[in-house]
Amino acid sequence: MTAVTPDLDRLAIDTIRTLSIDGVQAANSGHPGAPMGAAPMAYVVWTRFLRHAPTHPDWPGRDRFVLSAGHASMLLYSLLHLTGYDVSLDDLRSFRQWGSRTPGHPESGLTPGVEATTGPLGQGLANAVGLAIAERRLSHEFEHLVDHRTFVIVSDGDLQEGIASEAASLAGHLRLGKLIVLYDDNGIQLDGPTAMAWSEDVPKRFDAYGWQTQRVPDGNDIDAIEASIEAALHDDRPSLIAVRTHIGYGSPNKQDSQKAHGAPLGPDEVRLTKEAYGWDPDRTFYVPADALAVFREAVPEGERLFEEWNERLATFADGHVDLAEEFLRRVAGELRPGWDAGLKTYETGTEVATRNASQDAIQALAGSVPELFGGAADLSESNLTDVKGEANFSAEAPGRNLRFGVREHAMGGIANGIAYHGGFIPYDATFLTFSDYMRGAVRLSALAGLHVIHVWTHDSVGLGEDGPTHQPVEHYAALRAIPNLWFVRPGDANETAAAWAMAVERRGGPVALALTRQKLPTLPGTDTKAREGVRRGGYVLRDASGGATPGLILIATGSELQLAVAAADALEGDGIPTRVVSLPCWETFDAEDQAYRDEVLPPAVRKRVSIEIGVSLGWERWVGDEGAIVGLDHFGASAPAGTIFEHFGFTPDRVADVGRRVVREGLHGRIPTVDGGHFAAMAGGHPTTPEGDPGVDRTGSSDPGHS
Amino acid sequence: MTAVTPDLDRLAIDTIRTLSIDGVQAANSGHPGAPMGAAPMAYVVWTRFLRHAPTHPDWPGRDRFVLSAGHASMLLYSLLHLTGYDVSLDDLRSFRQWGSRTPGHPESGLTPGVEATTGPLGQGLANAVGLAIAERRLSHEFEHLVDHRTFVIVSDGDLQEGIASEAASLAGHLRLGKLIVLYDDNGIQLDGPTAMAWSEDVPKRFDAYGWQTQRVPDGNDIDAIEASIEAALHDDRPSLIAVRTHIGYGSPNKQDSQKAHGAPLGPDEVRLTKEAYGWDPDRTFYVPADALAVFREAVPEGERLFEEWNERLATFADGHVDLAEEFLRRVAGELRPGWDAGLKTYETGTEVATRNASQDAIQALAGSVPELFGGAADLSESNLTDVKGEANFSAEAPGRNLRFGVREHAMGGIANGIAYHGGFIPYDATFLTFSDYMRGAVRLSALAGLHVIHVWTHDSVGLGEDGPTHQPVEHYAALRAIPNLWFVRPGDANETAAAWAMAVERRGGPVALALTRQKLPTLPGTDTKAREGVRRGGYVLRDASGGATPGLILIATGSELQLAVAAADALEGDGIPTRVVSLPCWETFDAEDQAYRDEVLPPAVRKRVSIEIGVSLGWERWVGDEGAIVGLDHFGASAPAGTIFEHFGFTPDRVADVGRRVVREGLHGRIPTVDGGHFAAMAGGHPTTPEGDPGVDRTGSSDPGHS
């Protein structure tokens, strides 16, 4: 292999390489090989194509660069430092150390110039597809004010992931021509040569997706890389450039081996490698002045681009003052005044599935919150997420309704990418059960603090006949477990409108809405109480009658809230003063102060029953040692919804019965389902006691007390 | 379009169609269109190729048929009835009803002849790849005693899913020539024409994966379908046959429309459709005798095949009596006597990462449990899951170590497929965080009751520098939420050996092992107590000294068990009699009887502290109202592991301090981390109180009591 670069280019490229090597070595942890191999392609992108402004890293007009191969983070940090971002040599020296801005994998929001949190493979490519979709839509909405490209570097591992396949297939379908993907084709993954597990023809596969594909046989040939990027920019399809590289390039003993992948080269090999580059082996974190000068041209060039953009915006504003202001509002992430005025209030008793109330909310918000932009994974007719009267986003026209296809994981990654872009509040949609398919992306929306709304309908066994493969049971708990995700399960139409309002208002993290397929009655009191109550996560929907101190609190979410209300009638009839608490969002309730929480759940009222048709895990937090949990600790069943609720014991009578026994007999702990169908037997560690017996005491007490 | 089939074939095919139509109509729920379009290809497979024995549905030598498009379940149920499985017309009439054997989507174990639980799209194809891998490996191990094909019908939606891409890429790489996939290419998905979201060239894509690909332009041309399957069987690559069909074929008003996809045709359209077929529109669930006769040939033919197989087995046994017995043991799923004799016991104090102890266990079991068969998603050097000295499973040789590539979701689906096959205890492996990527498959392993072992290493922030993208925090809770999954987090090397033993012994469900990257000390007492204690899910590792009644119980899992032991020393020094309970598996502990649970966690001892470096969700179950939870309710940080533990307060001193305050000051509830790093602020609803203040009382009490 011949390095064909002139000396200064080579010096600059080797500066990226040596900084990356030194960063990993100093941390004694990390991935040196990929930066060493991919440095030339990154150099070409960053010095010859990328329109960015290191001193204005949030400039909305900038090109986006996503390092999908996040393990090559030192490559990105080196470039950020070299091109003049607020990333110092000391930051590079503290790679992977506590409190540094250079964590093991890039984290958006932590480090200026990092466009996406990457590392979990495949996500970055999906994010990039989202960035390109956002660009096209925003450009359409604002008369080409926005016009940028999205560059990505992906690894073998990225392209093996299903999420990458899904995202690439959609990108090809949508002809996202401004998306340029450089594939670091180094033939090595963690376990060894890629050929151990992978023998597909990657460009052919992308060709099948409708991409332009090119190959660069020598990853050090920067002119060939440049020419291929030029060609990519002149093609209206998304482009994949497979660049044949050498992992650990230049390392005498580790090049082209997995030994260069996930561990430092070691002090000796670092010296040998630097010598091979013609560098002083004794110097670390060394940046030759000539090389720095090449990179730092990005600063004045960025200033120029930024000024040019501002002038363009000013000119644009001359002709479209409202549109320009609207643009600035959008990218600032502020809501229009009165954005929520159209949200409906539903009359008590009206029967509405919460997915339909969600559809109403989307429709009501569509005009006043034009930044709402999303769609479903081939379930728009079930999730009811289309904005009526708007076109599909397609290759021909960037309409407002996204059609993700049956590609949940990419959908999540793309929604994240749209959020990274700015100017939008993206939403995505599927059945709640299939949140599992996109969980990798959901986690990252929470970790990166992205404002994404996940619309997950068919939120329980209440979906009925489709059966246990489609019925979420464990998902409420599993999603509540994710830090910084708000999981909201509204109990009727008014709570759904309120949930949409809180979802739109949130900043700094994702919101998941769990919505019913089946109709629910609009409950007394939600018309006035839901808006504030849902935002706070929990509230007293109905108190014990006549101002009595409650002897029992029923706590419910979603479709089970109606059971609590109906059971409260029966219990009050029995002389048990009963409060009903709606608890649609644990996370925001938990964030309220102690005084409010005590107001809703008075510490003195220890007799409590929770009702939620999902696993009991976590409910002890709210019901305490003397409370009972009416949950569902096994999988569902295929049958009409009403039949399932009946068999599992989710009826007002049953809830009232449990409530009575909690108060009068000291029943507490998890209450088994009445007839669990064929899955009850494999409840696996969630033992069910015979109907009529006291529940299981989770703290080990075999002596149920009395109130 | 011309139907080219002779009359009897046509009659038989229309029998499948009308049964499917009638089943969906009777349920008033389901998917009629796909069975109507795909009936001819299914007919060809089932009557001209499939070697099966309806009266011996578990015959190990049978061909496997997987309906990956599980929503077309009535197609499969109709075939099962028609070919003579124990599925009656009444079963078809009770499609999607409570307690029936014909649920909305096929469920393995519930219905004879259903090879895999399908419906969540893409899973069935991955299962089929697993079935084909299992066949090849078992055939190799038992000198070609096993020799069968795997047939699959997939939909557009299946092929859009990332898991399908991953599985197909691996199948091509492995040249699984006995895998024949018929693609029901009907151009319609739920939202409308597939062209709305999908324009890739599917055969070209599969060609890129290394598959043989064919197209059949008319899905009613059964001779063309037959010829393509013949050609597929003579090719050593896996085969994709794209069969152009018409969803809702024959329905005058709904054919080729999404209206035929996910809803019954409706009574009028049912009549019109039957008329179009030339059938009496008044008859439902009608099976013409001539058609039945064609299908029922499967019974005597199956008997013949079954007998032939038994003779073959007998002949085989003549020459290889041990091998034949071993084969029968394997397919019966029984373990060899003394299978666990090689498991190591570790001396107290030995420092071993539990991933290394797991490697020891795999090695120890490899000889005595030859059915253990698995591998990692490109992390074998981190997960340490290879069986040493064994070859890779490759296109050339079916070795024992699977190389899944970076394809977690397909890995999960393939492991499930291997389990469906029988004869193996499959295991898969990745980082615990990336269990998210395969969660769709993990759920199905639990729902279908598959004996699969998931080996998930790097099980906490203790993985260190890779940072929060790679650090599981919410995963313990999220996995404990899945019914019928045993989640085991062993606390040292002896507990890891015990965890492997319980994982191998389990039947009827999956076991997940969460293992450390970092070294852990072997703790006093685990050498003798762990084997039984881990199996039971929880046990007293160390009791209060001198036979005192404990004043405090410390409960811990995994790497935090050492903290509990060390803190107990300090607490005992302070005069607080302290018990340490190891709780590696909540599910089996929960399944123990009350007496055992009370023995381990005496109801009278209310002062308890849990220590686990993950979200607190669920821990109230074990610590109760007076206990405290030392957890981690926010994301991690990139830094050396020791630094992270220190900052987050996971140290013996800190645990002892909390324990002291629980006993002496009534501290209870969730205890915040000391210094949560940059994610603490976005803990989102998991409020942290200042260090030194009492924790948050989850039940609302603002009045911490005293013991």
Find the residue in A nearest to B194 (Cα): A405
Cα–Cα distance list, B598 to A304, A653, A697, B480, B605 (Å): 73, 32, 10, 21, 10
Q: Which of B123, B189, B200, B689 to mutate to test the interface with A (most CBs of A within 10 A)?
A: B200
Average pLDDT, chain B: 94
Written as one letter, the residue type at B658 is: V
Cβ separation of A647 and B98 shorter than 8 Å?
yes
Cβ separation of B189 and A405 shorter than 8 Å?
yes
pLDDT exceeds cutoff 70 at B109: yes
Mean pLDDT for the stretch of residues A689-700:
37
What per-residue confidence (pLDDT) applies to B683?
53
C-alpha A434/C-alpha A620 separation (Å) is 27
Please give, rounded to a whole number of angstroms, the shortest distance from the CA of B476 to a CA of chain A.
Answer: 9
Please give, rounded to a whole number of angstroms, the shortest distance from the CA of B323 to a CA of chain A.
Answer: 30
The answer to whether the CB of A233 falls within 8 A of the CB of A260 is no
Kindly report the length of chain A: 707
C-alpha A189/C-alpha A159 separation (Å) is 12
Cα–Cα distance list, B190 to A355, B35, B104, B154, B605 (Å): 17, 15, 17, 15, 56
Please give, rounded to a whole number of angstroms, the shortest distance from the CA of B293 to a CA of chain A.
Answer: 31
Q: Which two tokens stand for residue A276?
A: 């091979």
Q: Which of B118, B444, B465, B479 to mutate to test the interface with A (most CBs of A within 10 A)?
A: B465
Contacts of B594 in chain A (CB under 8 A): 696-697, 700, 702
The answer to whether the CB of A612 falls within 8 A of the CB of A671 is no
DSSP state of B393: B
The phi-psi region of residue B119 (left if phi > 0; otherwise alpha if psi is between -120 and 50; otherwise beta) is left
Please give, rounded to a whole number of angstroms, the shortest distance from the CA of A149 to a CA of chain B.
Answer: 23
Active site residue B592: no
DSSP state of A668: -
The answer to whether the CB of B648 falls within 8 A of the CB of B676 is yes
Q: Which of A114, A393, A406 to mutate to test the interface with B (most CBs of B within 10 A)?
A: A406
Contacts of A110 in chain B (CB under 8 A): 678
Residues 6+ apart with CB under 8 A from A632: A461, A473, A613, A614, A615, A648, A673
- How confident is residue A190, by pLDDT bands cut at 50, 70 and 90? confident
| pLDDT tens readout for residues A290-302 | 999 999 999 999 9
What per-residue confidence (pLDDT) applies to A676?
86
Cβ separation of B467 and A105 shorter than 8 Å?
yes
What per-residue confidence (pLDDT) applies to B676?
86
| pLDDT tens readout for residues B579-637 | 999 999 999 999 999 999 999 999 999 999 999 999 999 999 999 999 999 999 999 99
| pLDDT tens readout for residues A344-375 | 999 999 999 999 999 999 999 999 999 999 99
- How confident is residue A702, by pLDDT bands cut at 50, 70 and 90? very low
| Cross-chain CB nearest to B639 (options A98, A105, A258) | A98
How far is the first Cα of chain B from the last one, in angstroms, to the nearest whole number? 82
Find the residue in A nearest to B478 (Cα): A478
Active site residues of A: 408
| pLDDT tens readout for residues A83-109 | 999 999 999 999 999 999 999 999 999
| Cross-chain CB nearest to B684 (options A30, A484, A700) | A484
Cβ separation of B591 and A687 shorter than 8 Å?
yes
What per-residue confidence (pLDDT) applies to A700?
36
Cβ separation of A483 and B30 shorter than 8 Å?
no
Angle value at C-alpha B605, between B602 and B608, nearest 5 degrees: 110
Contacts of B121 in chain A (CB under 8 A): 406
Where are any strands of DSSP class E within A186-230?
A: 188-189, 192-193, 212-216
What is the residue whose two structure tokens read 């080990």?
A700
- How confident is residue B111, by pLDDT bands cut at 50, 70 and 90? very high
Q: Is B89 exposed, middle or buried (0-12, 13-18, 19+ CB in 10 A)?
A: middle
| pLDDT tens readout for residues B310-358 | 999 999 999 899 999 999 999 999 999 999 999 999 999 999 999 999 9
Contacts of A697 in chain B (CB under 8 A): 594, 603
C-alpha B644/C-alpha B468 separation (Å) is 11
| pLDDT tens readout for residues B489-534 | 999 999 999 999 999 999 999 999 999 999 999 999 999 999 999 9
pLDDT exceeds cutoff 60 at A706: no
| Cross-chain CB nearest to A104 (options B379, B465, B586) | B465
Cβ separation of B687 and A591 shorter than 8 Å?
yes
| pLDDT tens readout for residues B640-688 | 999 999 999 999 999 999 999 999 999 999 999 998 888 887 654 333 3
What is the residue whose two structure tokens read 């990390």?
A30
pLDDT exceeds cutoff 70 at A194: yes
Nearest to A148 by CA among A121, A115, A122: A115
C-alpha A479/C-alpha A477 separation (Å) is 5
Comparing A469-478, B144-153, B567-576, B685-694, the range with the smallest average pLDDT is: B685-694
pLDDT exceeds cutoff 70 at B696: no
Q: Which of B74, B620, B634, B686 to mutate to test the interface with A (most CBs of A within 10 A)?
A: B620
The answer to whether the CB of B232 falls within 8 A of the CB of B11 is no
| Cross-chain CB nearest to A465 (options B27, B201, B603) | B27
Cβ separation of A587 and B686 shorter than 8 Å?
yes
Find the residue in A nearest to B94 (Cα): A639
Q: Which of A198, A445, A469, A535 to mutate to test the interface with B (most CBs of B within 10 A)?
A: A469
Cβ separation of A697 and B603 shorter than 8 Å?
yes
What per-residue confidence (pLDDT) applies to B694?
37
Mean pLDDT for the stretch of residues B175-193:
94
The neighbouring-strand residues paired with B555 are: B581, B610
Cβ separation of A208 and B201 shorter than 8 Å?
yes
DSSP letters, A287-301, are --HHHHHHHHTHHHH
* Whether this model's pTM surpasses 0.90: yes
pLDDT exceeds cutoff 80 at A699: no
Kindly report the length of chain B: 707
Q: Is A636 exposed, middle or buried (0-12, 13-18, 19+ CB in 10 A)?
A: buried
Contacts of B469 in chain A (CB under 8 A): 70, 104-105, 107, 117-120, 444, 447
The neighbouring-strand residues paired with B353 are: B519
Helices A321-332/A298-319 angle, 10° precision: 130
C-alpha B48/C-alpha B226 separation (Å) is 8
H helix runs in B148-263, sequence order: 156-160, 162-173, 202-209, 222-233
What per-residue confidence (pLDDT) applies to B682?
66
Contacts of A204 in chain B (CB under 8 A): 204, 207-208
| pLDDT tens readout for residues A435-467 | 999 999 999 999 999 999 999 999 999 999 999
Q: How far is CA A159 from the centre of its chain?
A: 20
Query: How many CB pairs below 8 Å do chains A and B form together?
Result: 467
Cα–Cα distance list, B232 to A441, A600, B140, B179, B238 (Å): 37, 66, 22, 9, 8
Helices B33-44/B73-83 angle, 10° precision: 40
C-alpha B313/C-alpha B273 separation (Å) is 48
What per-residue confidence (pLDDT) applies to B6?
77
Contacts of B118 in chain A (CB under 8 A): 469
Cβ separation of A685 and B508 shorter than 8 Å?
no
Q: Which two tokens stand for residue B676?
A: 């949560």
Q: Which of A28, A74, A133, A161 to mutate to test the interface with B (most CBs of B within 10 A)?
A: A161
| pLDDT tens readout for residues A476-516 | 999 999 999 999 999 999 999 999 999 999 999 999 999 99
C-alpha A233/C-alpha B82 separation (Å) is 58
What per-residue confidence (pLDDT) applies to A5?
59
B106: helix, strand or coil: coil
The answer to whether the CB of B99 falls within 8 A of the CB of A644 is no
Longest Cα–Cα distance in chain B = 90
What per-residue confidence (pLDDT) applies to A683?
53
Please give, rounded to a whole number of angstroms, the shortest distance from the CA of B10 to a CA of chain A.
Answer: 30
Contacts of B100 in chain A (CB under 8 A): 638
What per-residue confidence (pLDDT) applies to B428?
98
Cβ separation of A700 and B98 shorter than 8 Å?
no
C-alpha A234/C-alpha A211 separation (Å) is 13
| Cross-chain CB nearest to B484 (options A164, A588, A684) | A684
Angle value at C-alpha A350, between A347 and A355, nearest 5 degrees: 110
| Cross-chain CB nearest to B682 (options A160, A449, A598) | A449
| Cross-chain CB nearest to B598 (options A163, A484, A702) | A702
What per-residue confidence (pLDDT) applies to A553?
98
Cβ separation of B98 and A644 shorter than 8 Å?
yes
B705: helix, strand or coil: coil
C-alpha B96/C-alpha B704 separation (Å) is 52
C-alpha A133/C-alpha A145 separation (Å) is 15
What per-residue confidence (pLDDT) applies to A49?
98
| Cross-chain CB nearest to A208 (options B200, B439, B473) | B200
Angle value at C-alpha B405, between B399 and B407, nearest 5 degrees: 125
The answer to whether the CB of A162 falls within 8 A of the CB of A409 is yes
- How confident is residue B481, by pLDDT bands cut at 50, 70 and 90? very high
What per-residue confidence (pLDDT) applies to A191?
85
pLDDT exceeds cutoff 90 at A204: yes
Cβ separation of B157 and A437 shorter than 8 Å?
no
Find the residue in B nearest to A623 (Cα): B699
Q: How far is CA A584 from the centre of its chain?
A: 21
Q: Is A187 exposed, middle or buried (0-12, 13-18, 19+ CB in 10 A)?
A: middle
Written as one letter, the residue type at B407 is: R
| Cross-chain CB nearest to A478 (options B104, B110, B481) | B481
Contacts of A466 in chain B (CB under 8 A): 29, 104-105, 119
Contacts of A617 in chain B (CB under 8 A): 477, 480-481, 617-618, 621
Cβ separation of B436 and A443 shorter than 8 Å?
yes
B621 φ/ψ angles, rounded to the nearest 5 degrees: -55, -35
